[in-house]
Amino acid sequence: MLFKKLLEKLGDPGKFLIPCDFLGMDVCHALADLRASINLMPLSIWKKLSLPELTPTRMTLELADQSITRPKGVTEDIFVKVRKFHFPTDFVVVGFEADPRVPIILGRSFLRIGCALIDVYRE
């Protein structure tokens, strides 16, 4: 069956920004990445927020550029405020420079905790 009008091709909703609040940060937009299985936080942000002690980990990470890195540690149950809601979130802390526009990456685990419904048809 042919349509008289072609359907519009939509972009990949694989990544989007979530405005969130942390004590000690003026403005924070986290990058929500549907392909990421973990939540990442740079060491500089962890220090700036004065978060609890890191738990050592033996984990290794393969990054998008296919390089391998070892995290500095894991921090658990950090509350991420999105609008009026607070979500307890575990972060893997890595020794990278933070992107000032989007210093934190939130993966599928965060979206699952928040029971996120993602409308892939709207921008």
pLDDT at 121: 57
Average pLDDT value for residue range 50-77: 92
Q: Calculate what percentage of the chain has a pLDDT beyond 90.
A: 32
Letter for the amino acid at 101? R
- Collect all residues with Cβ–Cβ distance below 8 Å to 64 and sequence separation of at least 6: none
Mean pLDDT of all residues in 92-98:
90
| pTM confidence score | 0.79
- Please report which confidence band the pLDDT of residue 101 belongs to, taking 50, 70 and 90 as the band edges: confident
Q: Provide the CATH topology of domain 16-113.
A: Cathepsin D, subunit A; domain 1 (2.40.70)
Distance CA 38, CA 108 (A): 7
Which residues are CB-contacts of 109 (< 8 A; sequence separation ≥ 6)?
A: 37, 38, 39, 89, 90
For residue 57, report the phi and psi dihedrals to the nearest 5 degrees: -140, 150
Residue type, 70: R
Give the Cα separation of 110 and 123 in Å (integer).
21
pLDDT on residue 59: 94
Residue 123 has pLDDT above 60, yes or no: no
**For the chain, domain boundaries:** 16-113
Average of pLDDT values for 39-60? 92
Average pLDDT, the chain: 84
